Amino acid sequence: MPLVNMKDMLDHAHANGYAVGAFDLVSLDFLDAILRGAESRRAPVILSLAESHFAYFNFQTLMPAVVAAARHSTVPVAIHLDHGASLDSAVQAINLGCNGIMVDSSSAPLEENIRLTRKIVTMARGCGIPVEGELGYVPGVEGEDAERHPGEMAYTTVDEARRYVAETGVDFLAVSIGTVHGRMRGKPELDFQRLAQINQALGIPLVIHGGTGLSDDQFRQLIDNGVAKINYYTALADAAGRVIAANASREARGYTALVAGIGDTIQAEVERCIDLWGSADRADAVLEKARPWRAVEHVIIYNVEGLDEAGTHAMMAEGRRVLSAIPGVLEVVTAEALKEDAAYRYSWLVRFCHPAVVDSYRDHPDHMAFADQHFRPVAGERISIDYQDVEDSSS
Tell me which residues touch ligand 13P (CB under 6 A): 24, 50, 82-83, 142-143, 181-182, 209-212, 231-235
Q: Which long-range contacts (CB under 8 A, 24 or more apart) does 84-87 make?
A: 84/51, 84/120, 85/51, 87/116, 87/119, 87/120, 87/123
Q: Pairing mode, if any, of strands 329-336 and 346-352? A: antiparallel
Is 82 labeled as catalytic in the residue annotation? Answer: yes
Q: Which is nearer to ligand 13P, 167 or 191 (CB)?
A: 191
* Distance from C-alpha of 234 to C-alpha of 177, rounded to nearest angstrom: 19
CA-based nearest residue to 172, from 326, 46, 356: 46
Shortest spacing between CB 359 and ligand 13P, in angstroms: 32
Angle at 318 between CA 313 and CA 323, to 5 degrees: 125
* Distance from C-alpha of 287 to C-alpha of 289, rounded to nearest angstrom: 6
Shortest spacing between CB 182 and ligand 13P, in angstroms: 5
| Residue 192: its H or E element | helix 192-202
Contact in structure between 357 and 296 (CB atoms under 8 Å): yes
Shortest spacing between CB 6 and ligand 13P, in angstroms: 15
CA-based nearest residue to 77, from 86, 68, 85: 68
Q: Which is nearer to ligand 13P, 218 or 360 (CB)?
A: 218
Helix axes 262-277, 216-224, angle to 10 degrees: 50
Q: Which is nearer to ligand 13P, 180 or 329 (CB)?
A: 180
Question: Residue 4: beta bridge partners?
Answer: 292
Q: Which is nearer to ligand 13P, 8 or 24 (CB)?
A: 24
* Distance from C-alpha of 95 to C-alpha of 253, rounded to nearest angstrom: 39
Q: Which is nearer to ligand 13P, 149 or 376 (CB)?
A: 149
Distance between alpha carbon 260 and the CA centroid of its chain, in Å?
28
Shortest spacing between CB 140 and ligand 13P, in angstroms: 7
Q: Which is nearer to ligand 13P, 138 or 322 (CB)?
A: 138
* Distance from C-alpha of 322 to C-alpha of 159, rounded to nearest angstrom: 42
Shortest spacing between CB 22 and ligand 13P, in angstroms: 7
* Distance from C-alpha of 67 to C-alpha of 102, rounded to nearest angstrom: 18
Shortest spacing between CB 35 and ligand 13P, in angstroms: 18
* Distance from C-alpha of 35 to C-alpha of 325, rounded to nearest angstrom: 30
Q: Which of 8, 11, 24, 82 is catalytic?
A: 82
* Distance from C-alpha of 365 to C-alpha of 368, rounded to nearest angstrom: 5
Shortest spacing between CB 54 and ligand 13P, in angstroms: 13
Contact in structure between 80 and 6 (CB atoms under 8 Å): yes
* Distance from C-alpha of 226 to C-alpha of 19, rounded to nearest angstrom: 9
Q: Which is nearer to ligand 13P, 39 or 145 (CB)?
A: 145
Q: Which is nearer to ligand 13P, 73 or 106 (CB)?
A: 106
* Distance from C-alpha of 296 to C-alpha of 289, rounded to nearest angstrom: 21
Shortest spacing between CB 159 and ligand 13P, in angstroms: 25
Neighbours of 189 (CB within 10 A): 10
Active site members: 82
